[in-house]
Amino acid sequence: MDRLDASALRCPLPLLRVKLWLKAARTGQQLWLRLSDPGSRQDLPGYLERAGQSVEVVADHPDRLELIITKHP
């Protein structure tokens, strides 16, 4: 499983990093992602679902959101 701690990044950088990962990842590959930016925490899960990717919330705290993303075709 790949890991991306984007907690120090502000919108739109987490989204750009995830898009690059999706482009390079193989079907079935997973990414653990940590976010702290309020805009990214709100926007990224919805974007991923609309893009047809699986998103599992691992932790949802006031200061951070942790997700596991599974790449789909």
Active site residue 64: no
The letter for the amino acid at 5 is: D
Which residue among 1, 6, 8, 11 is the active-site one?
11
Sorted by where each begins, the domain ranges of the chain are: 2-70
pLDDT of 59: 97
* Mean pLDDT score across all residues of the chain: 97
- pTM confidence score: 0.94
* Termini Cα distance of the chain: 17
Is the CATH number of domain 2-70 3.30.110.40?
A: yes
Coil, helix or strand for 68? Answer: strand
User: What is the per-residue pLDDT across 5-31, written as a single tens digit (0 to 9) for each?
Assistant: 999 999 999 999 999 999 999 999 999
